[in-house]
Amino acid sequence: MNALAATNRNFRHAARILGLDSKIEKSLLIPFREIKVECTIPKDDGTLVSYIGFRVQHDNSRGPMKGGIRYHPEVDPDEVNALAQLMTWKSAVVDIPYGGAKGGIGCSPGDLSKSELERLTRVFTQKIHDLIGTHTDVPAPDMGTNAQTMAWILDEYSKFHGHSPAVVTGKPLDLGGSLGRDAATGRGVVFATEALLKEHGKSIPEMRFVIQGFGNVGSWAATLIHERGGKVTAVSDITGAVKNPNGLDIPALIKHKENNGTLKDFEGGDAMDPAELLVHDCDVLIPCALGGVLNKDNAADVKAKYIIEAANHPTDPEADEILSKKGVTILPDIYANAGGVTVSYFEWVQNIQGFMWDEEKVNNELQKYMTHAFGRIKGMCQSHDCSLRMGAFTLGVSRVARATTLRGWEA
């Protein structure tokens, strides 16, 4: 099932549980605006090449639209649409004053030089600059993009609108980024995991973790789990996978990846088949890469008792059903990975106030938001006798529906 069909299905299920009026249901499903632009740039050898960029702005009833920009060869309009919708529910789940958006460019960032990436980002910004803004739509990093990408967007946008640090989050610190944003999604994943395990009378040091994806989210989640005494027994990325039943030395693995650009040939573990990683024996599985990786072909073989969805939509609905029948507890993406957008909100607040927070304040506030949201999701699960996914969806959708009704937009 494609990402949009899966997301719409989860939304409709939540709308049914909430008994949502059909007019509101329709209004919440249809995106506010879908943007598609051609970005033509000269490559370093002088040849011209065109890429297609997307920005989908899903909903702005609770505040400016917010969400990352992804550079990946598989970026397509349906997936961007689904990811934008997920951002709307995610912002509402953690109760930050934002709506949802997402963007992407279909490209392989690893095959482009730094100057080609810069040209592409600047042309994309030129095409969308009048549709984004501090109080309309605020981009951030996602797969294949990073603080440098945000710096180029900020610079290009500011040529049209004057210096505007709050137009993007996830910026470098020197341009108004927030302390703690780089680690925020991984840290939020760990706070969410702690909240869930505590509920089950367990804790991180007793657990064996397997992590798919070792970029921003995966490497921070692994680092913080390792620091708390959890055993990360297998990790994969696009270059391969490595395992060690006694626990990988995560700081050493990060150093190895920095030095060699790959997980391959790491001396502190054995190479393994990346396809086997998701069904590897463990207590907690954390997908931190692509969507749809847990599906009907592998769900029955998953050994983990807990799945923490650090990636967006890693579990398709068929897998969801198989896994819940097996008794696997799934902490859904719109809560589990909300630490990133939560600290993006703190960054935006700091930019608007012109006052920088220290890292301790950022991390403490993040923990408060994540812990509070977990309690509210559990409350919805109890009221509606539903899964954690539906608890999170009903929480997010009900908040957005209330804002929509209060504004009188549902008619």
The binding site consists of 66, 90, 185, 216, 344
Residue 338-377 contact track with ligand NAI, rule CB under 6 A, x = bound: --x-------------------------------------
The partner in contact with residue 91, picked from ligand AKG, ligand NAI, none with C-beta cut-offs of 5 to 8 angstroms by kind, is none
Distance CA 119, CA 82 (A): 27
Beta bridge partners of residue 247, listed in sequence order = none
Residue 310 C-beta: closest distance to ligand NAI, Å: 6
Residue 122-151 contact track with ligand NAI, rule CB under 6 A, x = bound: -------------------xxxx-------
The partner in contact with residue 120, picked from ligand AKG, ligand NAI, none with C-beta cut-offs of 5 to 8 angstroms by kind, is none
Are the CB atoms for 101 and 86 separated by under 8 Å? no
What tokens were used for 259?
């030095």
Largest Cα span, the chain: 62
The partner in contact with residue 169, picked from ligand NAI, ligand AKG, none with C-beta cut-offs of 5 to 8 angstroms by kind, is ligand AKG
Considering only CA atoms, which of 77, 139, 144, 143 is closest in space to residue 109? 144
Our finding on whether 290 is near ligand NAI (CB under 6 A) is: yes
Are the CB atoms for 189 and 221 separated by under 8 Å? yes
In the DSSP assignment, the letter for residue 179 is: T
The structure tokens 């989908």 sit at: 56
What tokens were used for 25?
């249901």
Are the CB atoms for 210 and 221 separated by under 8 Å? no
Residue 56 C-beta: closest distance to ligand AKG, Å: 12
Instruction: Tell me the window of 58-66, 196-204, 208-216, 391-399 that interacts with ligand NAI (CB under 6 A).
Output: 208-216
Among 13, 66, 122, 313, interactor with ligand AKG by CB under 6 A: 66
Our finding on whether 147 is near ligand AKG (CB under 6 A) is: no
Catalytic residue among 26, 102, 325, 326: 102
Are the CB atoms for 104 and 140 separated by under 8 Å? no
Which bin fits 261, alpha (ψ -120 to 50), beta or left (φ > 0)? left
Q: Which residues are catalytic?
A: 102
Residues engaged in binding ligand NAI (CB under 6 A): 141-144, 185, 212-218, 236-238, 274, 288-290, 310-312, 337, 340
